Copies of this chain bind each other. A is one copy, B any other.
């Protein structure tokens, strides 16, 4: 992607763009590059400084990973969204590590973490933008935390299945237990156990490659 195309993207994605000098604009473009990642690529892995990621198309999943491989989805990023947590060198008050994978083929622009950090030290608007973006993610994470810690799992699974069904306008949810667990930030065993319970109750049935909702009324009652 040519530098002037990156500049066009930046001018609409970064609210601080007009506050930068021509030299800073040019330098930010020069230290940035466009990349297309296939679906399922791990593009940020813990504490290295991958850089600031601007999503042009596709979808990124941001998650935390335990030592024994359990992962919890914090939020997803869609076209127009910006990932700052992957630029640990740009935010020195962030002491935790996240991982970022693509969930679909994704076109991204990656801004060098050092260049971004340097700029944010000189231009208050850049620093405010980086911090505000991070604080907005804090709200997303609190929501996930409350979902996981406070809401009972049957209710959460019922809500998830109803949402998927509504989204696809179908009574079939074409996801494996493993995928549902990942989307819900839970473990496969927990999902399988609850689905077995729902099946025994005649609420859903397992199908090849997914779940079919049999009793939407009872599922809705669980979701209340």
Contact = CB atoms under 8 A, between A and B. Distances in A.
Contacts of A142: 64, 95-96, 141
A94 B139 contact: yes
A155 to B, nearest CB: 12
Contacts of A8: none
Nearest to A120: B128
Contact of A131 (B95, B96, B132, B145): B132
A43 interface: no
Q: What number of copies of this chain does the assembly contain?
A: 2
Interface stretch (A66-74, A168-176, A193-201, A213-221): A66-74
B132 A93 contact: yes
Given A124-B124, A128-B131, A132-B131, A72 B149 contact: yes
15 contacts: A64-B142, A64-B146, A66-B146, A72-B145, A72-B149, A94-B138, A94-B139, A95-B139, A96-B142, A124-B125, A124-B128, A128-B131, A131-B132, A134-B138, A149-B149
